[in-house]
Amino acid sequence: MALTKVTSGVIKDSTIDSDQYVDGSIDNAHLADNAVDSAEIVAGAVDSAHLASTVNLTGKTVTIPDGFTLGSTAVTATGTELNTIADQYGYMTIWVDAGAMVSTSTAGAASETNEYATNDVNWDYLAFDTGGTEEQAQFKIVMPEQWNLGTIKAKFYWSSASGSTAGDTVEWGLKGRSLANDDAIDAAFGTEQVISDTVLSTTNNAIYITAATPAITIGNTPALNDICAFEVHRNTDGTDDMAEDAWLFGILIQITTTSTVSAW
């Protein structure tokens, strides 16, 4: 008996539904290119429950309609709002030079300027002694309003006095505290975090950059527009074993940004 070819024209609408198919029997190999488009899909029929957790769009063009919403942000045809979203959720760094720091009256590091003679390069630095009396310096900044008020990290840019030995270890510590309107200035800092670094040269003509500290919690529950006071010191009671002064050129602070900035 001859069989009639079965086409869409001889199948009554809705007579074949998902109950008539074995799971997995219809895959990409059984679909013609572009055979299924939005006109073939009932509105709302494909939701997250019908999609794999990962959708591979490699080599595909995805068209996003004008005026869609991403999270709570309305994105227009220009897409400029995407830059705003990227700025809100990221990181920002703040450089604090040694010249912007002050030595403490009690056990303060020496504030100096060195000229590197060959090319007359002059750099400010703070000289931190070795030994039992740990020296320190302080600085204060107001964080950018994009700051998420969370923990920060820091990297120390430093060198050594001449005579140091390659392989010597230096440890740097940093702690901070926020101050709002009418807060007492004379109050304890938050918990300190320490990072160690190694001398790579026997001269003081090279700069060293530490790895990032562990996350530093600013004391006193910071709020936007608070002033943040910091204290940096050479942690000589840890693994620090360099006999010479450690020269601090500055600190790079990294903050997390998530807040939008409002007009005053």
Q: Of how many residues is the chain composed?
A: 264
For 244, the token pair is 């010479």
| Main-chain phi, psi angles of 235, to 5 degrees | -90, 80
Report which of 25, 49, 145, 19 is spatially closest to residue 94, judged by C-alpha positions. Answer: 145
The pLDDT assigned to 56 comes to: 72
Residue matched to tokens 């309609």:
65
Residue pair 255/143 in contact (Cβ under 8 Å)? The answer is yes
91-257: CATH topology is Jelly Rolls (2.60.120)
Residue pair 96/250 in contact (Cβ under 8 Å)? The answer is yes
Query: pLDDT tens string for the chain (264 positions)?
Result: 565 565 656 666 666 666 666 666 666 666 666 666 666 666 666 666 666 666 676 776 666 666 667 666 677 766 665 656 555 569 999 999 999 999 999 999 999 999 999 999 999 999 999 988 999 999 999 999 999 999 999 999 999 998 889 999 999 999 999 999 999 999 999 999 999 999 998 777 899 999 999 999 999 999 999 999 999 999 999 999 999 999 999 999 999 998 678 889
The pLDDT assigned to 120 comes to: 97
For 212, the token pair is 């990032």
- Every domain of the chain and the residues it spans: 91-257
Q: Backbone dihedral region of 249: left (phi > 0), alpha (psi from -120 to 50 degrees) or beta?
A: alpha
Quote the pTM value: 0.70
